[in-house]
Amino acid sequence: MRFSCNGCGKCCHDHHVPLTLAEARDWASDGGALIILLEAVLADGSGLPAGQREHVLRRSLAVRCGQTRAHLAITFAAFNQGACRHLGSDMRCAIYQRRPLVCRIYPMEINPHIPLRAENKDCPAQVWETGPELIVGGQLVDAQLAELIERSRQADREEIAAKAAICQRLGISTSALKGDGFTSYLPQREAFLDALNEVQAQSPEQSEADWALHVSNAALARQLEETGAMIAAILADNCSFIALRADAA
């Protein structure tokens, strides 16, 4: 597989760009809006995609959820509806030298279990036919790109406890079940920055708060309650549920 970006700018539209903590601080400080996305799997394996146990658990935090444990994954992302606020009319990035890690990695996948497929990407067909070789024999050949992907995975692992602590300070204690959807929150910028500063001023702490799951339908709620999980009947005012299943109620 070859690849050569043609600068069309499509990937800078309508994508919530996942951010590291430092990037989220910069984004909010610059006046950008953030979205927080939460998903969890349960200790009994509910929500866990087949074959992804190691990857999912490595980037998640074990928290209390009723009588059981949930493994919570949290994404802080730039809230991009339409064009990214940093995209110029010439389709150039105004913060190119300090653009987020994920912008540098696209169109590569960060999840090692998701193979790169051109048809799942925004890039036009011709960019996959020219340029240097990207993947040979299933292996990424660009060492610099491989290092960026590893850095992104490492940030996911190292920052999950701080993200959970920030969510607690923002009053967020509800997650979706992985595969069923995402719980999404749009935090106030100032409140987010205050919470981030408070958490970073303290030594890392293990989250001991109770978390509840919000799911798409009553049958799934009953099934999870039988495992001891706490189910949230309603979501807080400042959040919504992004369903991933066609049969979501």
Distance from CA of residue 74 to its chain's centroid? Answer: 6
Stretch of residues binding ligand SF4 (CB under 6 A), selected from 10-18, 64-72, 109-117, 238-246: 10-18
Task: Enumerate residues 60-79 that contact ligand SF4 by CB under 6 A.
Answer: none
Distance from CA of residue 85 to its chain's centroid? Answer: 19
Task: Enumerate residues 161-220 that contact ligand SF4 by CB under 6 A.
Answer: none
Torsion of CA 185, 187, 192, 196, to 10 degrees: 0
**Given the complex with ligand SF4, which of 1 and 43 has the nearer CB atom?**
1
Strands 17-19 and 174-177: unpaired
Measured distance CA(97)–CA(111) in Å, rounded: 25
- Which one of residues 33, 127, 160, 213 is an interface residue with ligand SF4 (CB under 6 A)? 127
> Any alpha helices (H) in 124-209, and if so which ranges?
143-169, 189-201
- Which one of residues 1, 22, 43, 93 is an interface residue with ligand SF4 (CB under 6 A)? 93
Q: How far is the CB of 13 from ligand SF4 (least distance, A)?
A: 8
Measured distance CA(31)–CA(66) in Å, rounded: 37
Strands 212-213 and 174-177: parallel
**Given the complex with ligand SF4, which of 51 and 132 has the nearer CB atom?**
132
Residue window 96-125: x/- pattern of binding to ligand SF4, with contact defined by CB under 6 A: ---xx--x--xx--------------xx--
Applying CB under 6 A, does 134 fall inside the site for ligand SF4?
Answer: no
Per DSSP, what are the bridge partners of residue 17?
78
Q: How far is the CB of 32 from ligand SF4 (least distance, A)?
A: 9
| Placement of tokens 């999840």 in the chain | 111
Distance from CA of residue 132 to its chain's centroid? Answer: 29
Footprint of ligand SF4 (CB under 6 A): 5-12, 17, 84, 86-87, 93, 95, 99-100, 103, 106-107, 122-123, 127
